[in-house]
């Protein structure tokens, strides 16, 4: 057993949806979360830049003595998770893309799957590659939805304008007879109610955070490093710690007392 924390990181605050799921499923684990709020969004940046940022963040988390890492950011997952595993071969690194794919393949009945995410996640084609590598007859329909993140961060998830934006983005996907829709960005689960209102009950929404937490729990047990009790959680950002506190109320349902700002460029 090992009571060292699990590290979780994202380009900003959206990864708190993954934190929430880890807290729920792995309640003996301590968490160290880092949100790169100074350099968000990652979805419009190049693969090389995203890779550089992720390496810096993993170095920081390892200095905090984490025993394993979940990459909550779909953009990092889609563009460079294999490179990161090569750079840090001795570190358990889990993502959200592979778990999301696993959930979607279990859920779909007709093999027609939609994926929504940032521009970089969609452009990487990572979800399509993984969904179809063993299911050549499956059809995957992708859509970048860049306005979803600012709508969430402005707290507009229940406003009519958000419904209108969702309808505009998803109108083509709805014509493709999909029965499963992967929420390929950590912010998107906050829009679950609004998304469900638009897509209806015949399309199942997939939140990869559910399976990511489960997968990490299995890895910790397999390595015999699951914790016996939580030592608490710590939150770090590269900018705007007060905003992280505000966002935590929405994402986690409670207030974070302390958020520490660090200069991630030093790592």
Report, as residue numbers or ranges, the catalytic residues: 73, 185
Judge whether 218 and 97 are in contact, CB under 8 Å: no
H/E element, 113: strand 112-117
- As given in the structure block, the two tokens for residue 170 are 């998803």
Helices (H), the chain: 16-25, 47-63, 74-87, 97-107, 119-124, 126-132, 148-153, 160-170, 192-199, 208-222, 241-251
Cα–Cα distance, 54 to 206 (Å, whole number): 25
Judge whether 31 and 88 are in contact, CB under 8 Å: no
Judge whether 212 and 95 are in contact, CB under 8 Å: yes
Closest by CA position to 11, among listed 39, 30, 44 = 39
């Amino acid at each position: 057993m090992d009571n060292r924390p699990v590290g979780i990181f994202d380009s900003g605050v959206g990864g708190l949806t993954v934190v929430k799921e880890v807290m729920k499923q792995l309640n003996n684990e301590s968490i160290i979360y880092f949100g790169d709020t100074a350099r968000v969004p990652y979805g419009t940046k190049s693969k090389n830049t995203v890779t550089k940022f992720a390496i810096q963040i993993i170095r920081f988390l390892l200095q905090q003595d984490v025993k394993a890492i979940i990459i909550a950011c779909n953009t990092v997952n889609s563009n460079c998770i294999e490179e990161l595993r090569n750079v840090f071969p001795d570190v358990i690194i889990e993502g959200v893309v592979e778990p999301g794919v696993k959930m979607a393949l279990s859920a779909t009945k007709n093999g027609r799957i939609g994926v929504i995410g940032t521009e970089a996640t969609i452009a990487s084609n990572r979800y399509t590659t993984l969904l179809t590598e063993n299911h050549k007859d499956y059809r995957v329909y992708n859509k970048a939805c860049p306005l979803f993140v600012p709508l969430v961060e402005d707290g507009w998830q229940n406003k009519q304008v958000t419904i209108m934006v969702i309808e505009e983005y998803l109108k083509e996907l709805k014509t493709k007879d999909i029965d499963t829709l992967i929420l390929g960005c950590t912010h998107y689960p906050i829009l679950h109610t609004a998304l469900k209102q638009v897509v209806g009950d015949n399309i199942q929404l997939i939140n990869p955070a559910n399976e990511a937490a489960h997968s990490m729990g299995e890895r910790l047990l397999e390595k015999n490093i699951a914790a016996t009790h939580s030592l608490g959680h710590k939150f770090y950002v590269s900018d705007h710690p007060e905003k992280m506190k505000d966002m935590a109320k929405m994402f986690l349902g409670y207030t974070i007392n302390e958020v520490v700002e660090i200069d991630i460029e030093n790592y």
